[in-house]
């Protein structure tokens, strides 16, 4: 039995699916029980928690063979950094009290740095906290999500433009599909090791924003153009996506870190893993879902 915190998200859901496909039992750890119905239909147990309450988390983590942790992005809260640190206090206390055998958790490319990360600083804090835990832990530093393109499909179809916060638009960066992150997380949960592990995960190829546009152009059957969103407009862009002012600033700082090449894989001191999903195959699924 494995407890999955973040099962209603893309990575947590992919991890649970991979474990179920491998014949393992899953405990869905959720904040909102209404979101657990789909997992109950797949015979998953359900545990309802408060991410600030170590007692409910301890109960959810007790009696399992391992825990996967993916925390929420916190774009809707007034102070994401402070909120994240409160969650980490409760999580670390609960994991220790439940004597969890091992922990695998979602981190990010660049989380080896202690500054210049913007929103990824929450995951730096998580790595620092979890690496002090007494049980084996594994951090998955994932590349830029291919799923980030999903929100651009409708605009591309309607306007012929694909906005990009990343530039220059011909510079490739590592990207990965969330399904591949879940596959790696499930494999790690089924492994045995000692101490803290760090795994860097990217897809099989590097892709630029222009590559994204070219793929979308082919799949949508119309010419498309990559349009750079000026850095001065990044905060306003995130605010338009309903981020709070503090969250918009953190996301803007994160993108700036990618654009100046600061947020990148460490390369040394970490395992290197490669996902199987090509961008064009991932986008084919997203376009099909968005246009049906």
Domain ranges of the chain: 2-291
Rounded to the nearest 10°, the torsion over CA 35, 38, 39, 45 is 70
Instruction: Let me know if 178 is exposed, middle or buried by CB neighbors in 10 A (0-12, 13-18, 19+).
Output: buried
For range 217-223, the mean pLDDT: 96
Whether the per-residue pLDDT at 290 is higher than 90: the answer is no
Report the mean per-residue pLDDT for the chain: 97
Domain 2-291 classification at class level: alpha beta
The confidence score (pLDDT) of residue 127 equals 98
What percent of the chain lies above the pLDDT cut of 90? Answer: 95
Cβ atoms of 248 and 78 within 8 Å: the answer is no
- Nearest CA-CA partner of 163 in 220, 210, 108, 103: 210
For range 76-91, the mean pLDDT: 98
């Amino acid at each position: 039995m494995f407890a999955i915190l973040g099962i209603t998200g893309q990575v947590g859901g992919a991890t649970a699916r991979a474990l179920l496909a491998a014949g393992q039992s899953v405990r869905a750890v959720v904040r909102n029980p209404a979101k657990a119905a789909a997992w109950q239909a797949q015979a998953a147990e359900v545990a309802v928690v408060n991410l600030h309450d170590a007692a409910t988390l301890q109960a959810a983590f007790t009696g399992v063979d391992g825990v996967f942790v993916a925390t929420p992005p916190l774009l809707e809260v007034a102070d994401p950094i402070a909120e994240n640190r409160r969650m980490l206090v409760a999580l670390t206390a609960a994991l220790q009290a439940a004597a969890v055998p091992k922990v695998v958790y979602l981190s990010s490319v660049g989380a080896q740095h202690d500054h210049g990360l913007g929103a990824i600083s929450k995951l730096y804090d998580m790595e620092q906290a979890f690496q002090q835990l007494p049980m084996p832990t594994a951090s998955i530093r994932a590349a830029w999500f291919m799923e980030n393109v999903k929100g651009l499909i409708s605009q591309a179809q309607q306007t012929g433009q694909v906005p990009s916060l990343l530039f220059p638009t011909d510079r490739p960066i590592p990207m990965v599909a969330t399904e591949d992150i879940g596959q790696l997380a499930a494999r790690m949960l089924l492994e045995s090791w000692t101490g803290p592990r760090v795994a860097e995960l990217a897809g099989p190829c590097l892709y630029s924003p222009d590559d994204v546009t070219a793929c979308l152009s082919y799949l949508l059957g119309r010419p498309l153009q990559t349009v750079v969103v000026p850095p001065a407009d990044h905060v306003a862009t995130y605010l338009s996506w309903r981020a709070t002012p503090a969250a918009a600033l953190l996301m803007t700082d994160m993108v700036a870190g990618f654009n100046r090449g600061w947020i990148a894989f460490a390369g040394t001191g970490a395992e290197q893993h490669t996902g199987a999903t090509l961008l064009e195959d991932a986008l084919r699924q997203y376009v099909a879902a968005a246009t049906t």
